[in-house]
A and B are shown apart, each in its own frame.
Chain A
Amino acid sequence: QVQLQQSGAELAKPGSSVKISCKASGYTFTSYDISWIKQTTGQGLEYIGYINTGSGGTYYNEKFKGKATLTVDKSSSTAFMQLSSLTPEDTAVYYCARRSLFDYWGQGVMVTVSS
């Protein structure tokens, strides 16, 4: 069955970076792009962007350009998202999802930014 397994919770200091992962299984990884979504209590769900798992091509929501960097490792069927120059506003749960009409989602990763 299709699964997207995300990495564990992160606690990071302001100004630092974190890299979270999303490991796919149960399907051909390069047949589906991976999207990333941010969830906060205040802003709700926000679309960050997606990565073409075959070519590595990316699309970013304007709001997240310069904040998020999406990459992929086809050999391990894993997508990554690096968040840089972290501020408390980046504290959120981050989800990966298959871009195929967002049919399958990972379990989410809590990223907490605090000094």
Chain B
Amino acid sequence: DIQLTQSPSTLPASLGERVTISCRASQSISNSLNWYQQKPDGTVKRLIYSTSTLESGVPSRFSGSGSGTDYSLSISSLESEDFAMYYCLQYATYPQTFGGGTKLELK
């Protein structure tokens, strides 16, 4: 199975700050990577798919990039509703696997 290593596991940040979350795969996943936001009530929302395509309705402050084994999610200017858990998911091979998650918390 492909391992996804997400970092950092916890990210303290301030309102208005720019942050970046990393997701590194154990082998090339050919841009087959999505990013998700999970709120404390368990609601899961797709933010980015296929590495860099922004989900409809998701604010443009979210962006994704990467290739090969290294991918990242950036949020350009944090707003209060952005403080949540974030996960990456690879769908290049079965079984699909997830990163361990990043908790974005208010500093």
- Within 8 Å CB of A35, what residues of B? 96
Partner of A103 from the list B43, B49, B98, B101 (CB cut-off 8 Å) is B49
Q: Does A31 lie at the interface of the complex (its beta carbon under 8 Å from any beta carbon of B)?
A: no
Q: Among B43, B49, B97, which residue has its beta carbon within 8 angstroms of that of A101? A: B49
Q: Are B98 and A47 in contact (CB under 8 A)?
A: yes
Cα distance A30–B101 in the bound complex, in angstroms = 31
B89 close to A (CB within 8 Å):
yes
- Docked pose: A103 CA to B87 CA in angstroms: 14
Total B residues in contact with A, Cβ cutoff 8 Å = 21
Do the beta carbons of B98 and A61 come within 8 Å of each other? no
Q: Are B46 and A103 in contact (CB under 8 A)?
A: yes
Interface residue tally on A, bucketed by range:
20 to 34
A97–B96 Cα gap in the complex (Å)? 13
Contacts A45-B87, A102-B34 given: A93-B42 contact, CB under 8 Å? Answer: yes
Contact B100 A47 (CB under 8 A): no
- Quick one: closest A residue to B6, CB to CB? A44
A27 beta carbon closer than 8 Å to chain B: no
Q: CA–CA, A106 to B29, complex, Å?
A: 26
Asked whether A107 and B43 contact (CB < 8 A) given A44-B101, A47-B95, A47-B96, the answer is yes
Contacting residues, chain A, for B96 (C-beta < 8 A): 35, 47, 102
Q: Which one of A37, A44, A104 has the highest number of Cβ atoms from chain B below 10 Å of its Cβ?
A: A44
Are the C-beta atoms of B98 and A45 separated by less than 8 Å? yes
| B interface list, Cβ under 8 A from A | 34, 36, 42-46, 49-50, 55, 87, 89, 91, 94-101
